[in-house]
Structure 1
Amino acid sequence: MGMSELRIEALSARTIVAVNALSLKPGQEQFVTPVSYSVAAAVTDPRTSWQRVVLDGDEVRAFIHGNFDPSAEAPFSSILWRVNVDADVQGRGVGRFAVHALADEARSRGIEVLHVIYEPGELGPESFFTRLGFTPVGETEYGEVIARYSL
């Protein structure tokens, strides 16, 4: 699988089933949804939500959910809520491709900083986000890490 074959498209009725079927590596389940995501999901506006799938050919390989809400306070004004990469293709640049697409979208909206919130932990996504250039800047009331990426 080469990076050139990957493409991104809006989440649709056709792809949502495949998103729900994405597999995780053992131990990753606990890191999929930080508490803050569940809390914010209740108030996420469909007009500010950015949900995409990464396709390799016709296969859904990843799902990414960002939110851009200029009326919200940081980190919620520009945030990567979720990136799920199928276990079979983790470590092959699919997640990086997805996050770069979200960053491109943020830049196109004139946004200069992207945030992410994640659970700390040995099997968690911290090393992935660090490699992409996110820097921890604080934590939520639930003990999750808040990190930022300058665009």
Structure 2
Amino acid sequence: MTTLTLAEITKDNVEDACDIAVAKRQRRFVDSVAESLAEAYVQPEVAWPRLILDDGEPVGFVMAGFDPAAKADFLRCWLWRLNIAAGKQGRGYGRFGVHAALDEARRREQKTMSVCWVPGKGGPEEFYLRLGFRKTGQLHEKEVVATITL
């Protein structure tokens, strides 16, 4: 039995985080961890980036955003990024990361969480729908917007 945990990104594990790369066919659907951390760096009051660990081994990255002042309601609490290493997919790490972000949203007393994805064959749509997210009918920068009630 493995133990899944989250770790804050620090100077000691940032390289491990940046080494996480999704499968080549998925790169058009999600930005790299390095790009995500750059976005987090310039918005530290909004970004919640975490490394997903399996018995201490980095296997993924999840980042949520919490911005109560956002003009768009779906950007007040959203799953910003999810990257699971190419050789580690299909083992529940993505589900774990999403549930961890949902738990953080609940801890912050949020009522819903949003996620956006690039539509297309091989994309993450079915994954998010299986987890309970429902499409809103909105598009944000050509990405599908979905929400889940917490």
SS in 1 for 2:25: coil
Contact 2:40 2:46 in 1 (8 A): no
After superposing on structure 2, the runs of 4+ consecutive aligned residues of structure 1 that deviate more than 3 Å are 41-44
The one-letter code sitting in structure 2 at the alignment partner of 1:66 is: A
Counterpart secondary structure, 2:103: helix
Q: Deviations over 1:94-132 (max 9, x none)?
A: 011011011001001110100011100111111111111
Task: Identify which of 40, 43, 46 aligns with 1:45.
Answer: 43
SS of 2:28 mapped into structure 1: helix
Preserved CA contact (<8 Å) 2:30 2:81? yes
Deviation at 1:64, TM superposition (A): 0.6
- Percent pairwise identity: 37
Unpaired runs of at least 5, structure 2: none
Question: Quick one: structure 1 residues 43 and 117, their matched pair in 2 at CA, closer, same or farther if it must change by over 3 Å?
Answer: farther
- Tell me by how many angstroms 1:88 deviates: 1.4
Q: For 1:84-103, list aligned pairs within 5 A.
A: 84-103=83-102
User: Displacement, 1:142?
Assistant: 2.6
Q: 1:141 to 1:43 in 2, by over 3 A?
A: farther
CA, structure 1 residues 43+106, in 2 after alignment: closer, same or farther (shift >3 Å)?
A: same
Q: Which moved more, 1:92-101 or 1:20-29?
A: 20-29
Equivalent residue number for residue 54 of structure 1:
52
**1:74 lines up with 2:73 in the alignment:** yes
The root-mean-square deviation of aligned C-alpha atoms, in Å, is: 2.1
Indicate the residue corresponding to 2:61 in structure 1: 63
1:23-76 per-position Cα deviation (integer Å, ceiling 9, x unaligned): 32231010013xxx98xx499631121011111122111111111111113111
- Counterpart of 1:110, as a letter, is E
Q: Rate the CA distance shift 1:91–1:15 in 2: closer, same or farther, 3 A.
A: same
The answer for the alignment partner of 1:26 in structure 2 is 24
